[in-house]
Chain A
Amino acid sequence: DAGVTQSPTHLIKTRGQQVTLRCSPKSGHDTVSWYQQALGQGPQFIFQYYEEEERQRGNFPDRFSGHQFPNYSSELNVNALLLGDSALYLCASRGGAPDTQYFGPGTRLTVL
């Protein structure tokens, strides 16, 4: 049973560019959440997708957007990249009982 997968593993972009990160949830999971983890900090919740709609959102600007596909996979898009967007971006999927989240390995984004 494959766990949560994310791609790419690493990414380097320059300020002002746009980036798309991808996530496939654990088999049987239908809810995907995205987190940003800056160096030395805990993960910060960006948003959650369920049934192809954004259900909850953290305190992130609308430069951060997402999408969920019918197969439950998800994308995170970040526009107009800033240096401060450099972080590890984590995807987590959730489903069934008990109500737990499983995380992918993350995508390390570096903005130069």
Chain B
Amino acid sequence: GEDVEQSLFLSVREGDSSVINCTYTDSSSTYLYWYKQEPGAGLQLLTYIFSNMDMKQDQRLTVLLNKKDKHLSLRIADTQTGDSAIYFCAGRLFVFGPGTRLSVLP
């Protein structure tokens, strides 16, 4: 089955950019997704990218997709303390990575 991997922790200073990385094994995903989960809450869909795109920008969020390397990244510009959360990438809608815990230091 599909495997999705992410680094578990990332710490940045407020105002810096954050880059969260994800690798996946299944290249048949039509869309790839980024979700955000705050403590005790459900998952919030942040953004998604169609598999035939290389990049998608949505306000402070930039998604980069490297299909050859099966690598997906999420860049958050001007990171704020409210961005502190766990970020999950997902493919094929049913398989999630373990999540990256982003800590934003003031």
Q: Are B94 and A56 in contact (CB under 8 A)?
A: yes
A42's closest neighbor in chain B, by CB?
A: B96
Specify which chain B residues have a CB less than 8 angstroms from the CB of A99 in the assembled complex.
Answer: 30-31, 93
Tell yes or no: B33 within 8 A of A by CB: yes
Q: What DSSP secondary structure best describes chain A's contact surface?
A: strand
Tell yes or no: B88 within 8 A of A by CB: yes
Specify which chain A residues have a CB less than 8 angstroms from the CB of B33 in the assembled complex.
Answer: 100-101
Specify which chain B residues have a CB less than 8 angstroms from the CB of A95 in the assembled complex.
Answer: none
Q: Are B42 and A106 in contact (CB under 8 A)?
A: yes
Q: Point out which of A94, A101, A102 has the most chain B C-beta atoms below 10 A from its C-beta.
A: A101
Specify which chain B residues have a CB less than 8 angstroms from the CB of A6 in the assembled complex.
Answer: 42
Q: Which listed segment binds A: B43-51, B59-67, B75-83?
A: B43-51
Tell yes or no: A72 within 8 A of B by CB: no
Beta-carbon contacts of A32-51 to B below 8 Å, as 1s and 0s?
A: 01000000011111001000
